[in-house]
Amino acid sequence: MWRPRGRRRIAMVSLCVAVAAVAGAFAGVSTAATPDVRLAKGSYVPGEVLVRFRDGASASGVAAAHASAAATVLRSFTSVSNLQLVRLSGLSVGGALAKYRQRSDVLYAEPNQIYRIDDVELTPNDPFYASMYNLNNTGQTGGTPDADIDALEAWNVTTGSNAVYVGVLDTGVDWDHPDLVNNTKPNAAECNGQAGQDDDANGYVDDCHGIDPLNGDTNPMDDNGHGTHTSGTIGAIGNNNTGVTGINWNVQIIACKTHDPSGNGDAAALVECLQYMEIMKAQGKNVVATNNSYGGCPEACGFSQALEDAIASNMDEGILFVASAGNDAANNDTTLKYPADYFVPNVIAVAATDDDDLLASFSNFGTNTVSVGAPGVSVRSTVWNNSYTYLSGTSMAGPHVAGIAGLLAAQDPSRTWSAIRNLILAGGDPKASLTTKTITGRRVNANGSLTCARRKVSGPLRPLPTVDGQDPIIVAALNINCARGARAPTVTITPGNTVIQLKDDGRGADLAGRDGIFSGRWNLLPCDPGAYTLTYSNGKQDTTTVTC
């Protein structure tokens, strides 16, 4: 039965509690406005405060204090009386501290400070390390601090492994260089075997350091310096109190001489080198990537089906193909540049950035064809005759990517080529200078790749800006979340409102299953020339002009 007097009693009790709470609140608070407490970002847990009330603080006063800060109690401590950890739902930590600290019933309030273990930062003792902005940029070259690949942070995760192998297709490698000598003996059976014999029965005699298909022998000694420089970036011995530091302090570099002293090579030598990497992998060596810092004539004046087939064969064997984007300041989407432009999923094309994280003036680019940026201006590394020098070019950028691939394989030897590629792409730092110049808009970051978590990256790959519509047109897009592929996107093409569901199943137009590249076919029959816009379900957009 409804009783008005009972309702009045409840109301009166509620009013008394409210009055008591308000009284308690005003009894323990100064009415003067208090500005937010200023705190250093990253030094405390966001949204949390530790607050300790004075002995004798009333329950209503405690409740009012928490209400003023829009806080809820997460934990109460017994070893420290009246201490509580609270979670904020509206105010900033600084704003909540100001609220608590103005109350007389609060003994103290403080942010939930972050404490880090006193780990030993692995700063190498190599004398030239301090000059290597590409690894750790402190502004030492006049550039922007932290415009680097965060190698110092990455080395707290791993410094590499001699069980990881990276191929270098170049002018050879000075395998006797004091900063490379321990990291350029990939074939122990031949290094420790009998001279003049094929000790490991792989078809090559005395291939301790690699091979030289250009001259038909197994002595890939550098006679130019270029290959030794790219090798040093990948794997100059670290912390040996000598010269420079490689991205991998420990790694095995497989030297494959494809270019002569003038820097010229040929496609046949390149194909044999890629074949050699597969031979080495079949022997149980974890060959994760090759570095290919070359382009232009004579080996890359135009498309080579043989070289593309060899790259695809490497993909089937789990080997990445890292390629420099080129030094023509050109758009690779419209002026094709090989080998960077081979449309095979294991290819990572690399642009060059400087010590301010700007695209290098000479670097090629391409929002459909160039994957990422990496330091490539005034990079210090090893050269032949036991020397060191600074060189610039996308040739210097590529080895940073190959080097990071080595670190990722050292951290987890079971990683697939696609997982390593995706972690390299997703782990980079977004840079405004690369947003309209590369697929990802990112400059690589070794530590970001090693610690990647919930980082989605996407970008259209095909069609290119101009495409022939007389045959089915390949539509492809990168869509990844760290190591894995993300949700399969659809693409709507206008005019015509054609909708295509892209797939990552390794069938039809899709070149590799479950690798994070989603593909489909656009049949524009009869061919209808003109400009088309492709809008992807993840928000990306691209345009192409169809010719017939």
Enzyme catalytic residues: 170, 226, 395
> What Rg, from alpha-carbon coordinates, does the chain have?
30
| Residue 19 tokens, joined | 């009055």
How far is Cα 169 from Cα 166, in angstroms, rounded to an integer? Answer: 10
**φ, ψ dihedrals at 310, nearest 5°:** -65, -40
Query: Of 533, 251, 193, which Cα lies nearest the Cα of 399?
Result: 251
Query: Of 293, 297, 414, 437, which Cα lies nearest the Cα of 358?
Result: 437
How far is Cα 20 from Cα 106, in angstroms, rounded to an integer? Answer: 18
Please name the residue that has the structure tokens 């009783």. 3
Please name the residue that has the structure tokens 């290098």. 360
Give bridge partners of residue 536 from the DSSP assignment. 491
H helices, E strands: number in the chain:
11, 24
Asked if residue 375 lies in contact with residue 397, where contact means CB atoms within 8 angstroms, the answer is yes
How far is Cα 535 from Cα 539, in angstroms, rounded to an integer? Answer: 7
Give bridge partners of residue 109 from the DSSP assignment. 51
| Residue 157 tokens, joined | 């995760």
DSSP per-residue letters across 510-531: -SSBTSSEEEEEE--SS---EE
How far is Cα 69 from Cα 66, in angstroms, rounded to an integer? Answer: 5
Whole-Å CA distances, 113 to 117, 183, 392: 13, 43, 44
| Residue 190 tokens, joined | 């031949």
How many CB atoms sit inside 10 A of residue 499's CB? 11
Query: Of 287, 294, 283, 222, which Cα lies nearest the Cα of 254?
Result: 287
How far is Cα 540 from Cα 534, in angstroms, rounded to an integer? Answer: 8
The DSSP secondary-structure symbol of 182 reads: G
How many CB atoms sit inside 10 A of residue 485's CB? 18
